[in-house]
Structures are given as C-alpha cells and as structure tokens.
Amino acid sequence: MRLVTVLTATMILGLLVIVGLFVTRFWGGSDLALPERLILPEGARATAFTQGQDWLAVVTADGRILIYDRVSGGLRQVVDIQD
C-alpha cells in the first residue's frame, strides 16, 4: 500500500512540474522582433516557415526558399530547390 501511495504522489508531482514548466515557458510573449508582414513574390504560395537569429525563411510551393531580414522584412536571398 505504501508503494502505491509513493508512486501516486510521484506521478502527481511530476505532472505538476510539467504543467509548471509549460506555463512559465509559454506564458510570456515573443522576445523576437518580427516584421509586421512579409511580402511574397507574385504567385508564390508559402508551404513552410522557419527562423534564425537575424533571418526568416519561407519555403514556397514552386520550389524556392525565400530568406528575409528579420527586422526590416526585406528579401535577402532566393534559393532554388532542384529535384
């Protein structure tokens, strides 16, 4: 009986720790400066998005990676993906 009680208490404590970590980690907003919006080239449709420290990247359906400046939102580079 003592083993079941200890295991139950351990599981409850672990669950509370996990919930606490989620709340403290995701409670605050983003500290990253992002542009208001990114302007994609004519006809481009975004399929994926990722970001680095000073850049943002959008993968398009037509096989390109568009790399933008994080602060200004200006297009830095276009990388064509070859099959």
How confident is the model over 26-64, as pLDDT tens digits? Answer: 776 656 666 777 888 888 898 998 988 889 999 999 999
Average pLDDT, the chain: 87
As a whole number, mean pLDDT of residues 12-29 equals 87
pLDDT over threshold 90, residue 19: yes
Query: With 70 as the cut, is the pLDDT of residue 75 above it?
Result: yes
Predicted confidence at residue 71, as pLDDT, reads 81
**DSSP of 8-75:** HHHHHHHHHHHHHHHHHHHSS---S---S---PPTT--EEEEEE-SSEEEEEETTSEEEEEETTT--E
Provide the pLDDT for residue 14.
97
